[in-house]
Structures are given as structure tokens and as C-alpha cells.
Amino acid sequence: MKPLFRKALAGAALLLCLAGSARAQQAQQRSQRPDPVTELKQVIDRIYNYLDGCTPAAVVDADGKPIKDLRKIDEKSTLQKGDFGINTYEWGVTYSGMLLASEVTGDPKYTKYTFDRLKLLGEVYPYVKKYWDENGYQMRLGAMENPKWLDDCGAMTAAMIKATLADPEQAKVFRPLLDNWFNFVMYKEYRLGDGILARLRPAPNSVWLDDMYMGITPIAYRGKLSQAERGDLTQKYYNEAINQVLLFKKYLWVPEKNYYRHGWIEGMAEHPNYHWARANGWAVLTMCDVLDAVPERTQGWTEVRDLLVSLLRGLAAYQSPEGTWHQLIDKTESYLETSASAMYVYGYAHAINKGWLDRTAYQDIARSGWAGVAKQVNEKGQVENTCVGTGLGWTNTFYESRPVSVFAAHGYGPVLLAAAEMIKMYQTAPAPTPSWRPAGAAAPIPREAGKPVVWLAGDSTCAQGYGNDPNSLWGWGSFFGEYLTDAVSVKNLAVSGLSSRTYFKGRWDSIRDNIQPGDFVLIQFGHNDMSPINSGRARGTMEGTDDTPKTFVMEKDGSPEQVYSFGHYLRMMVRQAKMRGATPVIVSPTPQNRWEGGKIQRFTDTYNAWSRQVAAEEGVPFIDLNELLATEYERIGQAQAGKDYFADVVHTREKGARLYCQTLSKALRDQNTPLAKYVK
């Protein structure tokens, strides 16, 4: 054996040994790593230990001395000061989190924490009410008897109802307070003419997304409590909860993005268009609670479920590499915020556990989100990077400049909820894939079982041909399947005359709602995007890739419409395809039969550049078909291109369409795209 060969063998053997050793070390590390449920319980306990020590359950006088005889309560009496108030809306969420933690782990200390404090409030309430009724003073504890807005009582009412359902006997002591507060939520809170829960501050007749949780959750759970106590379904509460969710959708839902804006102000021509993360978190918690409390047979239940699913799908596209979400969902320059991220994690885990979301598609989003949230719980048990209380803002900078603090009480309840629901996700068997299709979903398109589909989304340059005559107009989608192996099938859903905007609004759902994991989506637009925006066929888009819309008045009927950039519509299609498990590929528009000095005109600085930018930002393949074909046409020559390949300025004959298929399939293979293995 030659020395050189012996050295090579020795080196290979050493590498194998090292690789084996590395694998053994990794296996040992995995075996030593705590299981995820243990780690989740440890986080819950750190938070519990901190909160149990810093949120005393006592009433004190003006000098801070404990009041043992509750008959001595007066206008200056207050709850003993700790790091957090035990009767605030934030603590209503914390109590809900503690109750769920006990339910999931079997550890009663979390429930005891909740009842110790709720029972104190129940014991105090009769004396507050008596003093108020007799003296009429503005007491420091006055909100117990006379709340002024939902923040005073909504989340606390929801927590008390959940506690009553968990242990009716212990809950008797605070039942009068529960009933008083619920009466305010249901019958006294300000509303607009159509019945939606609203505010008179800081602007009159304003709708805040926060109030979904503060108002709707207690209404939904009041129906469940009445059913448990009297066997009475109290359908009015269920109907009201569903109706409120749909009213908030009407005012605040942004269908282009699949999430909510923060607020709406009556009388404004343009409403504040800022997508605050925690406000969307309140919506997630609310819809989960409504779907849990309200029977499925209730009219509108399915619509609420589909709305929650749409919101979670929309939010998933904005999850950061750290697993958490930004203070403003769509503004990556804003900081990563913990309370909203925890609310989203709870929503994903809960929807997976209920079978509303596909476990395989979304469990890693929940796991990654929890990993990011858990890092924000310090060793003391404090939740870091939580935004403080926030009003309705008029600028991005308002939200981006809001401070964070471990004493922002909003973070603790959502983290407890998220941790408890993640434990359930790990402990429960995978839920079956839902057999239902979302309400309003596009009709199912037949497909061969077990075979991926290559979906084509585009305009007439891709759409099916107009006849059997070789001189007819043919789109490349007519023949593309011939250039792929039989291991995939092609579904050409391109439509003549549509832009990225009109396709996204009117036809994209046919692809989106039929995607299965492992599919591919080729997206190509541009020719019709340069059309007028609000006149004629009104199909044009704004230039560039920005996500900020502009409102245009449509000449055909005078209606307003928010129009986005070309890049925005591509981005939405890419993100929605990815969230359903497909691999999107962006294809630049085809060249037009326009020449100057022997060179065919290109879209290098416009639609090519914008398509390339979106693909790079979203991490998907990009095929610059415009440049590739322009180069090929210049080789062929203007005369022959116009005679044999082009049928007019834009469209192609069969020979041109097949040239496009050859060029595209070669590019897919040369760039080693995920679709390359199916190219002949």
C-alpha cells in the first residue's frame, strides 16, 4: 500500500471517529436536557414565586397600616401596595393564567394564589359599597362599586367567572362583586349606534381593539356560567359575544394583511392605521375565549374561528428570527415585545390543541415563539421587554417610543397562559387534521393523491391558449407541464387581464385555499400592473415594494379603495403560500415586443427589480425571465421574433410560449431551486 493512500485512509478513519464522537456527545446532551414540560413548569414557578411575594392581599388605611376590621374602610382606604395591583385589568389576565396553570399541571398553588386575592376583594366589596352608598365620596376603592370604563372591571370579571366555574363554593364570597362588574360591562359601558363597545376618551366615539378582551370575554363566559348554574344556555350572552367579535372585525380588521389596526375614530376620513402587536394579542385571547365558551352550534361561531385562524396565519409571516414579534407588527425597526408575543404563542398552541390549526404546519411557530418569550423571564421571575400601558397613537413613533419595564403588568398573565397552553400542546396527542374548510373558502380543486401540485398564478402571458391554431395566442402555462416529470402536476390558474392587485383580490384564493404542504407556486405579474389605478379597468398598482397603502376613489362608482404597491401584493401571495407549506417562486414579467436599436426593452429598473427585491426579502427563488428571454430574443433577432414568436406586443404564439417554458425550466434547474428535481 502506498504511503499517500495509507495517510488518506488514516485521515478518513480519524474523521469518522470524530464524527461518531460528535454524534455521541450530541445524543448525551439531548438525554441530559430537561424535557420541555419540565422547563415550562420551571418558568411558571419562577413567575409564581416572584408574584406571590410582591402582590400582597391586604387593605390598608391612609397611613399604610393594615385594616383588620373592614367596617373601618373609608374614602382613603386602598389595597396594600406591591409591585402590581391585584384588581387591575392586567391582573385579570394573570388570574386567568394562574387558573390555567393549575388545570394543566395539577399544582393547586396557582389556583390558591388567585382565590386568596379574589376572596379578599369579595370581602372588601360590601364595605366599599356601604360607604359609597352612604357618603357618595370618590373613594380610592370606588371603582369596585362604580366602574367608569371597561379597564376597571372587564378582565377582572372574566377571571372571576372562570374562577367561579373552577370552584363555585369558594367563589361565593366575591359573587356580588362579579355581578356588579358584569352589569357594567353588559349594560352600562358606552356603545355606538350599532351596539359595538366603544370609548369616549381620548377621542369621542372611538373603537379600541383592546376592548375585545375587556368586554367580550366576560360576556361569553357569563353565558357559560349561567348554563352551568341553571342549565340555561342564556343565548343572549353567546349571541352578544359573537356579534361583538364581528363588529370589531367590521371596524378594525385589515383584510390585506390578515390582522387588525389598533383603533377607529368616528368622523375621521382616515383612521389611525397602526398595527400594534399587543392590541392584536388581545384579539387572539378574546377569540380563543369566545370559541371555548360559546357552543359551536351558535350562529357565527364558525366565522369567529375562521377569523382567528386568519389572524394567526397573518401574524406568522411577521415572526422574527428570535421567535418573538415586534411592537408594531409590520415594522421591523420597532423593538421585540414580550406580552404580545406570549399572547400569540398562547393562540397558536391553543388553536393547535383544539384542532383549529394544523399541528405540523404551526407547532414550530409556537415552539420558536415560546423559546423567545422564555428568554425574557429573568431569574427573579420578572418578565422583561414588556411595553407599558399604551393609548391610541397617531404615529409610528408613538408606539415605537413606548418604554418597556419589568413592572409593566401586561406581560405576566400572557406568559403564564402561553406556558400552560404549551404544556398542553406537548402532552396532548396530535389533533386530527380538521375536515372542515373555512367559511367562504374557494371551491376545492381535484388533485392526484400524494402528488405535489405546481400552481401557476399570473396574467395572460401565462394563461391558457385561445385555440388549437399554432398562430393563436398561447401563454407559457399551456405547455409548462410538458417540461416537468410526471411526479408533479401543473394547475394553471393564471387569468388574462389581471394585475397582481386584481388577482390577489379576486382569484388568488383559488390557489391559497387549495395548497397542500409540498406544493409549489410560480407567481408572475407586471404587464397589467402599469395600468391606471382608479379609472378604466382600475387594475394598476403603485410602484415599488412598500407596504403602505394609499386610498383612491374609483371612478366607476365613487367608492374608496386602499391600493398597495406591486411588491406588496407579491409579498402577500408569497407569505400566504409559505404559511400553507408551499414553495413560492417569483418569476419576473415576460419581455414585450418593443425594440430600440436592435435591443428589446426590459423592465430592469422596475418590475424586474421589485420582483427580485421581494424574493430576496422573503427568501424565495427568483427567476429573471425578462432578462433571460430578452437576451434570447436579441440572439434570434427582431424580425424573426416578431414573425415566429410574438403574436402582438405582449402575447406569444405557441413557439414563443414553448421558448418561455424551456428558458424557465432551465433556470429552475440551473439555480438549483426546490423545483429543479422535477424538471426533465
What letter does residue 534 receive in the DSSP assignment?
S
**Lowest-confidence region among 148-152, 333-337, 557-561, 613-617:** 557-561
Do the beta carbons of residue 454 and residue 488 sit within 8 Å? Answer: yes
Residue listed under C-alpha cell 383588620: 68
- Tell me the residue range of the domain where 405 lies: 36-427
Q: What is the pLDDT of residue 136?
A: 72
Q: What is the CATH number of the domain that holds 142?
A: 1.50.10.10
Segment 537-560 mean pLDDT: 92
Structural domain contains residue 178: yes
Shared domain check, 94 and 236? yes
Query: How many C-beta neighbours within 10 Å does residue 502 have?
Result: 23
Q: How confident is the model at residue 1 (pLDDT cuts 50, 70, 90)?
A: very low
Structural domain contains residue 632: yes
Q: What is the pLDDT of residue 271?
A: 77
For the chain, the maximum distance between any two Cα atoms, rounded to a whole number of angstroms, is 107
| Closest by Cα among 102, 72, 220 to 155 | 220
Shared domain check, 469 and 422? no
17 pLDDT higher than 70: no
Q: What is the pLDDT of residue 315?
A: 96
Structural domain contains residue 8: no
Q: What is the pLDDT of residue 201?
A: 82
pLDDT digits (tens, 9 = 90+) for 620-675: 999 999 999 999 999 999 999 999 999 999 999 999 999 999 999 999 999 999 99
- CA Rg value for the chain: 30
If one compares 32 and 516, the residue with the highest pLDDT of the two is 516
Highest mean pLDDT pick, 294-298, 333-337, 358-362: 333-337
Q: How confident is the model at residue 302 (pLDDT cuts 50, 70, 90)?
A: very high
Shared domain check, 622 and 666? yes
Q: How confident is the model at residue 8 (pLDDT cuts 50, 70, 90)?
A: very low
Shared domain check, 421 and 468? no
Shared domain check, 485 and 422? no
H/E stretch holding 390 reads none
> In DSSP terms, which residues pair with 646 in a beta bridge?
652
Structural domain contains residue 18: no
Cell of 416: 403564564
Structural domain contains residue 23: no
Sequence letter at residue 524: Q
In the chain, the number of structural domains is: 2
Shared domain check, 360 and 400? yes
Instruction: Provide CB contacts within 8 A for 69, sequence distance 6+.
Output: none
Between strands 263-265 and 336-337, the pairing is: unpaired
> In DSSP terms, which residues pair with 264 in a beta bridge?
207
Shared domain check, 201 and 338? yes
Do the beta carbons of residue 260 and residue 252 sit within 8 Å? Answer: yes
Separation of alpha carbons 130 and 126, rounded Å: 6
Shared domain check, 662 and 603? yes
Q: How confident is the model at residue 202 (pLDDT cuts 50, 70, 90)?
A: confident
What letter does residue 208 receive in the DSSP assignment?
E
Instruction: Provide CB contacts within 8 A for 397, sequence distance 6+.
Output: none
For the chain, what percent of residues have pLDDT higher than 70? 92
H/E stretch holding 490 reads strand 489-492
Between strands 336-337 and 325-326, the pairing is: antiparallel
Shared domain check, 161 and 257? yes
Q: What is the pLDDT of residue 314?
A: 94
Shared domain check, 191 and 143? yes
Structural domain contains residue 394: yes
DSSP calls for 166-199: H-HHHHGGGHHHHHHHHHIIIIIS-B-TT--B-B
Separation of alpha carbons 638 and 367, rounded Å: 56
Q: What is the pLDDT of residue 4?
A: 46
| Closest by Cα among 433, 421, 578, 566 to 99 | 421
Q: What is the pLDDT of residue 421?
A: 98
Between strands 59-60 and 253-254, the pairing is: unpaired
2 pLDDT higher than 90: no
Q: What is the pLDDT of residue 31?
A: 45
pLDDT averaged over the chain? 91
Segment 487-498 mean pLDDT: 95
Kindly report the pTM of this predicted structure.
0.65
Do the beta carbons of residue 288 and residue 346 sit within 8 Å? Answer: yes
Structural domain contains residue 512: yes
Structural domain contains residue 277: yes
Q: What is the pLDDT of residue 33?
A: 56
pLDDT digits (tens, 9 = 90+) for 273-287: 889 999 999 999 999
Shared domain check, 378 and 482? no
Looking at 381, 409, 427, the residue that finishes a domain is: 427
Query: How many C-beta neighbours within 10 Å does residue 514 have?
Result: 21
For the chain, what percent of residues have pLDDT higher than 90? 80
641-644: long-range contacts (C-beta < 8 A, 24 or more apart)? 641/593, 641/600, 642/593
Shared domain check, 472 and 423? no
DSSP calls for 241-279: HHHHHHHHHHHHEETTTTEE-SEEETT-SS-----BHHH
| Closest by Cα among 630, 620, 640 to 572 | 620
Separation of alpha carbons 105 and 107, rounded Å: 5
- Locate all alpha helices (DSSP H) within 545-592, ordered by sequence: 566-579
Segment 139-145 mean pLDDT: 91
Q: What is the CATH number of the domain that holds 663?
A: 3.40.50.1110
pLDDT digits (tens, 9 = 90+) for 397-451: 999 999 999 999 999 999 999 999 999 999 986 644 444 555 567 889 999 988 9
Q: What is the pLDDT of residue 273?
A: 82
